[in-house]
Structure 1
């Protein structure tokens, strides 16, 4: 009899243990300590932009607000060294979303140009934004009216390895000039460039950004600005060699210009870390491209879900692709 009682007590004990274990599992939602069922989404998101006087930074502030509202995750816009540095930062887990030029994104994922031997394999596209015009800025009284007039002059070409530097190098090449041999190259950011023009420390500056660029607008408030044109034949030659460029123009009235100035442009885009979840990137994409009416910057009119995959030369995150597939049916 005692043996039978002991047997039943043992069975009841086993059932009790199993019941308590099940309760613990239900409360935690994760089984035996495995976190695989829990969200891997970060608690904070950072958007890497550029300098405070470019176009990326003010737009980034607006995007941060839109993403925060859509995802419920606190998102901030961070000042950075722009395209090339942003691609490297994403690869090194130092940011989550970043503004980059389409040409620089391509170089990074292919491991060419400034990324030679350092192919970036954890960065993908979220979507295209707007044209970034390569603006060669001078003062009206500088005596510089063409690319050929740059020979021997002090010219800001951006930081080595930056998107602006690559644009300057390629445009000078098409005009028979080189950074190393034909100009006195200065590696300045947009604010330093316009300050240098104002004080006479440099005579011209390459600025790749959406117009109107705040740094150039500030310069024009105190000095009459001139934008050097890119002729139709030179633009065609450039595009034949570097197909990620497009024909563009700085409109009449921008910076007080009396006439439209022909130019070339690349595209600004957003890149993201590849390992962000599909659901989160879907929400990020929806937050930005689904609320373009809330973007007050002049470039907001170019940001559209319908054209968000145009000109993208790298893989697109599945979450972004899902959103664009839905809205562009």
Structure 2
């Protein structure tokens, strides 16, 4: 994982944006836009791809600069945000619900993540129950995918039992390689579809995506509003039919003290550059619409974001 750059602390960000947010002292020239570090995700994953597109859109706007960081995902991003080491974080909504940060707020709900449990087509694994006794990668240690996967396996009654799966934590690239070679039997991943690294694997290895919605009723009892039923479209990873799976909202998060001008600029980018923020090969659901952007349950909107959405949408 790339360590977050020294960058700007939250206090430095707030100082740099003080007053008008983008102006230097009276009588001086306009200061360059502030730079905000954004905790994203792994190389080859949806978080980092979205973060880079968002940074490009911010640069075009001229109102602020974003620096997307490679991380292990939601859990690490939330930890970095709590420690004031980054100004913005991408996170799964279920991971955000468990964040210890008391002033956690959202700038917007940006797209839907698809929980993907991927196996080799020739493995004989067709259901979650078939993972018993198999080696299963949950995801990177600091990822939201790993946290969600543990919940799914627990809901399926597969954890803490003698014949349960052998769980390991792997970065996506390593997990994809090990699935191809047979070193692991299944991998969990949460992201947009198609995920490039899994799509690349499907070009050389026949894959099957498992239906995870069999545990959705139990998950909803334990974690209301965190999960929905969705489907991975036909054709993704070579599948001939849609595959039912669990959907989880992805949120762009900050702390409530993030400068109002920066938040308003981010909202404008999410609205005005929505089409440019969708990867060209994306097949899944995007949330860059008025009704979806503001629906950030279980995290409240940053007050400046709520105000800017009202100004833009009435």
Name the TM-score class by shorter chain.
0.7 to 0.9
Offset of residue 43 of structure 1: 3.0
Unaligned runs of 5+ in 1: 1-34, 109-118
Offset of residue 200 of structure 1: 1.0
Match of 2:291 among 306, 309, 320: 306
1:138 maps to what in 2? 119
Aligned to 1:258, what secondary structure does the other structure show?
coil
**TM-score between the two structures when normalised by the length of structure 2:** 0.84
Match of 2:306 among 314, 321, 327: 321
User: Which piece of structure 1 moves more, 189-198 or 236-245?
Assistant: 236-245
User: Which piece of structure 1 moves more, 206-215 or 178-187?
Assistant: 178-187
1:11 maps to what in 2? none
Between Structure 1 and Structure 2, the one with more helix by share is: 1
Unaligned runs of 5+ in 2: 1-15, 23-32
Cα deviation 1:126-148 (Å, max 9, x = unaligned) = 11112211111001011111111
**TM-score between the two structures when normalised by the length of structure 1:** 0.80
2:60 is equivalent to residue 72 of structure 1: no
Cα deviation 1:173-229 (Å, max 9, x = unaligned) = 222111675111111021111111011110001111111111110110110110011
Query: Is the contact made by 1:47 and 1:64 (CA closer than 8 Å) also made in structure 2?
Result: no
Offset of residue 296 of structure 1: 4.1
1:95 maps to what in 2? 86
Cα deviation 1:266-285 (Å, max 9, x = unaligned) = 11110013222112210111
Query: Is the contact made by 1:282 and 1:319 (CA closer than 8 Å) also made in structure 2?
Result: yes
Give the whole-Å Cα distance in 2 for the aligned partners of 1:311 and 1:228. Answer: 28
The correspondence of residues 29-48 of structure 1 with structure 2, limited to 5 A, is: 38=19, 43-48=34-39
User: Which piece of structure 1 moves more, 273-282 or 156-165?
Assistant: 156-165
Structure showing greater Rg:
1
2:189 is equivalent to residue 207 of structure 1: yes
Match of 1:192 among 174, 190, 210: 174
CA distance 1:316–1:144, change in 2 (3 Å): same
Query: Is the contact made by 2:117 and 2:210 (CA closer than 8 Å) also made in structure 1?
Result: yes
Query: Is the contact made by 2:118 and 2:208 (CA closer than 8 Å) also made in structure 1?
Result: yes
Offset of residue 311 of structure 1: 4.3
Query: Is the contact made by 2:140 and 2:172 (CA closer than 8 Å) also made in structure 1?
Result: no
Give the whole-Å Cα distance in 2 for the aligned partners of 1:36 and 1:44. Answer: 10
Give the whole-Å Cα distance in 2 for the aligned partners of 1:105 and 1:198. Answer: 32
Match of 1:287 among 265, 269, 279: 269
Give the whole-Å Cα distance in 2 for the aligned partners of 1:74 and 1:270. Answer: 16
Query: Is the contact made by 1:197 and 1:203 (CA closer than 8 Å) also made in structure 2?
Result: yes
Cα deviation 1:245-270 (Å, max 9, x = unaligned) = 10011111111101111111111110
User: Which piece of structure 1 moves more, 272-281 or 79-88?
Assistant: 272-281
> How many residues of Structure 1 are paired with residues of Structure 2 in the alignment?
284
CA distance 1:300–1:62, change in 2 (3 Å): farther
1:168 maps to what in 2? 149
Offset of residue 161 of structure 1: 5.3
Cα deviation 1:78-117 (Å, max 9, x = unaligned) = 1111101101111212111111011111100xxxxxxxxx
CA RMSD of aligned residues (A): 2.2
Cα deviation 1:224-251 (Å, max 9, x = unaligned) = 11001135x5323322322211001111
2:135 is equivalent to residue 154 of structure 1: yes
CA distance 1:269–1:56, change in 2 (3 Å): same
Aligned to 1:143, what secondary structure does the other structure show?
coil
Give the whole-Å Cα distance in 2 for the aligned partners of 1:311 and 1:79. Answer: 24
